[in-house]
Structure 1
């Protein structure tokens, strides 16, 4: 099966490409390094020739709300329009658990617009909402780390291994469109501050973590806001298993 992966050089995209190729599929990489620019549409028609299904694992850097929403919107529109011209029969979007109920996060605003365009668009679709990835805590702490000190929100999360996300996307894209798929999550609920501490410890780094709600994650994300809903699909890899392999 000929399948395109948008965001093919990113964390999840590259793993999805590898999984699909192991399964014997003909994979088209959609990325600027491959000569395809989603923001302008350049190279899209040629890349999607003969493609039956697409995985959209694109991410964008968060700026202000209007810019972030505009980036997601423009790329998604270009991709969906090109898919319609090419006769693509299945668009699979990787999204995030809980974004419908959280207004203050600009990245989530962009993802909501992306979901809206997909659900109202011309190509049959599946949206796969995932919880945060196992490397999320280390990444968030890295945003603010200075002189061995980092602020981090005390979020309750149920993180999932990137490889498990990619495996699920590769499984879903070869099937029929499913509409909104069940939330996908890892097997354990965790505290983000503790995850960052354990990750730094495993990597031999001494970082003092200061829990706070003053950053990009506000109190509206406290409690169960980021946890998967009922009937979630639980992936097998625990945080400790992922950390042991990643060190």
Structure 2
């Protein structure tokens, strides 16, 4: 008997109207409809969570004096968010409002926090120089241009271009407020030395006052002793006369 003739193909019920037959014959085929939407939202949420975790590392870099590294990381994360803002659900027409607002607020505050600690670099290699600031300025302008079509510039929900540019301008126009020059450092050292000398003089003056007080007390004691001696002699003389 032919083996092929004995092969029985089982009967299958016809697929229901809502089923996706393509996933049966091709398990690797992409999902459709609501499944794809849910998957995209899940991936976007995971990517946003990753970005927010890295934003926390930016704050840690700033606290550790790794200023240049903090701005490098901040630029990379901002570029990812701006370039993929629609897909990540960060525009006004997509995603949960609380999630969007929280993300943009966190990102903007990271920028402002980093600039507020601009002069805390632990080494010269970690300092932001003028070319870095100009580069950041151009990046911020470019990101704002990209987000303009979504209405995400200078609003609570969006990128705070104006505030960040103002922070950069402060750093450019008042570098001495953030990076002390060698002259300023020498001036600070000189002021510290003057303060130390003043303290030494004050302490020395106190010691002199104490010495003078002691000398006066000693003189008074000697004078009192002389008076007593004279009175004793006078008494003896009077007694002998009597």
Same fold, judged at TM 0.5 (above): no
Query: When the two structures are superposed, what TM-score results if normalisation uses the length of structure 1?
Result: 0.24
Higher RCO (C-alpha 8 Å, min separation 6): 1
Query: When the two structures are superposed, what TM-score results if normalisation uses the length of structure 2?
Result: 0.24
